[in-house]
Amino acid sequence: MNIQFKKGVLELCVLSQLSKKDFYGYELVENISKYVLISKGTIYPLLRRFRTDGYVTTYLEESKEGPPRKYYCLTENGREVLEKLEREWNTFVNGVNHLLRNEVNEKERVFNQFMIEQEV
């Protein structure tokens, strides 16, 4: 997938996942990677920035499989940012889809016009 596409929507993906439940970093990477191929190194700097910006808080929870895990929890400020990003994303996707459909419709119109002309 185009790296610019991923960079543009990774914030939205992370905030969206955190709106559903708290995640620890690796778990978040694994969950998002089911749908969008990402590396571990892309998530952690983003999570640090989200914490600095007040979009998430963190807490430690003991793990049966090793050291305590740092969980990320979406704040109210983070929910507001998520809502804004979702609106922007939907506007963007609808605009692109509209352009793509119009292009297809224009091709169909030209083809249909060509077929009509061939019958005459």
- What is the Cα–Cα distance from 85 to 5, expressed in whole angstroms? 15
Q: Residues 60, 70: contact at Cβ < 8 Å? A: yes
- What is the Cα–Cα distance from 92 to 5, expressed in whole angstroms? 12
Query: What is the pLDDT at residue 116?
Result: 67
List CB contacts of 22: < 8 A, sequence separation 6 or more: 71, 72, 73
CATH of the domain at 38: 1.10.10.10
Task: Give the least confident one: 12-16, 95-99, 110-114.
Answer: 110-114
**Number of domains the chain contains:** 1
Helix (H, G, I), strand (E, B) or coil at 22: coil
Residue range 95-118: mean pLDDT, rounded: 71
Residue 26 is part of which domain span? 3-119
Q: Residues 76, 44: contact at Cβ < 8 Å? A: no
Between the two ends of the chain, the Cα-to-Cα distance in Å is 46
Query: What is the pLDDT at residue 75?
Result: 98
Between 24 and 42, the more confident residue is: 24
pLDDT in tens, 53-102: 999 999 999 999 889 999 999 999 999 999 999 999 999 888 888 888 87
Residue range 20-41: mean pLDDT, rounded: 92
- What is the Cα–Cα distance from 86 to 52, expressed in whole angstroms? 21
Query: In which band, very low, low, confident or very high, does the pLDDT at 111 lie, cut at 50, 70 and 90?
Result: low
